[in-house]
Amino acid sequence: MTHPPNLWHLHVFREIIQRGSVTGAAAALGLTQPAASQALKGLNDHYSTALTARRKDRIAATKEGEILLARAAAALNLLAEGVREAAGPKANPAQMLRAMSARRLETLVSIVRHGGFSGAARAEGYAAPTVHRAAKDLEKALGVTLFESTSHGVRPTKQAHILALKAGLAFAELKQAAAEIAEATGHEAGGTVIGAMPLARAHLAPAAVAAFSAALPDHKVSIVEGAYEDLLIALRRGEADILVGALRENAALKDVVEEPLFNDPLSIVMRAGHPAANAQLDRETLSSFSWVAPRATSPLRRHFDALFEALNLPAPEDVIECNSLGAARVLLMNSDRLMLLSDEQIRYEKAANMLISRPHPVREVSRSIGLTMRRNWRPTAAQAALLAEIKRQAELKAV
């Protein structure tokens, strides 16, 4: 099951449960009773389970139906927010659901993600006219401009970005519903996407996933890497579930929450046999070698700059900026360059005696390492177990 269910069917299902009857829901929504029954059947078929059962004189949700009811409410509320923000407060999201199909919204999400029609067509494997038609049909249903012509071609408008963001989060909720329904019926069909920052992907995330997957091998886990800014966008869109790594304390972002796991001390890292391996790391020593430094926007760069300020030294001139841990290791092992880095990030190189570390020469300096999640994210049981394993691995590191 790769696509979300019919969004209008979800609305009908919620109305059926609320009113306790198909007939009552049909009357409230201006449908025929057979049409409402068909909507319910469509959802039952989509999830391959019975979502309702008759109890006394009314229709109620089964255990699986209750799962879908909660997730569908969150998804439909997100879509309603997106419609009102994109089309204005007078828009009627419930009326628009029938024309705003999941497939059209998926196409919009892809267009925004890939920056245009051609990128979306290539990524989704659709013919370009199919993407254009779905986008224009959605634009017509909303009654707002979702795409505009620029000197670089047709681009999504601000309204398109708003709706795509909410739609992506709504689809993430429905994906969670499918996973939880599968769990309830004795199967595992869920997955987790972990955005791993440099320290986390060196050991913490892989170690946690290895231990977790040994117990729950059917839960699909993906570890993705990238610049923090890109991973944060993926998280906020619902494309990633959690981020693991150095915390940024983004107080301005109300839709994400951070959870510290441990403090990670920083050291001066160099190759084994380096001339400074046994020397005093004073001003003269530190100023006599070339350096590898993180890019300017990285939090680690602030600690790098602060090191030289604390020693009243000018910033080194011979610096290679490198935000790739793999590349940084090679640079360090094949030169006399130094780098301010975490011991955790060179765990295996230290064990193999390829790199060594010396304590920070000024004072103990550490970064807060932890989890970043969407504020309203509700993990499935399997995802909660994975989170617990990440925390367990973090506790082992902190001991």
Which CA distances in Å does 368 have to 130, 218, 270, 308, 362?
47, 32, 23, 21, 19
Does 219 lie in the same domain as 135? no
179 within some domain: no
Does 388 lie in the same domain as 360? no
d(CA 181, CA 58): 23
pTM confidence score? 0.87
pLDDT digits (tens, 9 = 90+) for 194-238: 999 888 888 899 999 999 999 999 999 999 998 888 999 999 999
52 within some domain: yes
Does 289 lie in the same domain as 229? no
What integer pLDDT is reported at residue 94 of this predicted model? 78
161 within some domain: yes
CATH of residue 253's domain is 3.40.190.10
d(CA 21, CA 207): 50
What integer pLDDT is reported at residue 142 of this predicted model? 86
What integer pLDDT is reported at residue 314 of this predicted model? 92
Location of structure tokens 């089964």: 62
Q: Among 105, 134, 168, where does a domain finish?
A: 168
Q: Among 115, 135, 168, where does a domain finish?
A: 168
As a 3-state breakdown, the chain gives helix, strand, coil percent values, each rounded to 5, of 50, 20, 30
Q: Among 137, 168, 199, where does a domain finish?
A: 168
| Paired strand residues for 224 | 195
Q: Are 65 and 5 in contact (CB under 8 A)?
A: no
CATH of residue 19's domain is 1.10.10.10
Does 133 lie in the same domain as 83? yes
230 within some domain: yes
118 within some domain: yes
Does 360 lie in the same domain as 377? no
178 within some domain: no
**HSE toward the beta carbon, residue 122, CA cutoff 13 A:** 6
4 φ/ψ angles, rounded to the nearest 5 degrees: -65, 165
What integer pLDDT is reported at residue 356 of this predicted model? 96
183 within some domain: no
Does 97 lie in the same domain as 14? yes
Query: Whole domain around residue 313: which residue ranges?
Result: 265-365
176 within some domain: no
DSSP conformation class of 200: I
Token digits of residue 294: 């993180």
What integer pLDDT is reported at residue 162 of this predicted model? 94
Q: Are 172 and 238 in contact (CB under 8 A)?
A: yes
- Nearest by Cα to 86 from 150, 166, 173, 4: 166
d(CA 196, CA 223): 6
Does 221 lie in the same domain as 73? no
Does 383 lie in the same domain as 340? no
d(CA 142, CA 138): 6
Low-confidence ranges of the chain (pLDDT < 70): 1-2, 251, 398-399
What integer pLDDT is reported at residue 399 of this predicted model? 54
Sequence-separated (6 or more) residues with CB below 8 Å from residue 364? 265
Does 99 lie in the same domain as 158? yes
How many domains would you assign to the chain? 3
> Per DSSP, which regions of 207-313 are E strands?
220-224, 242-246, 256-271, 291-293
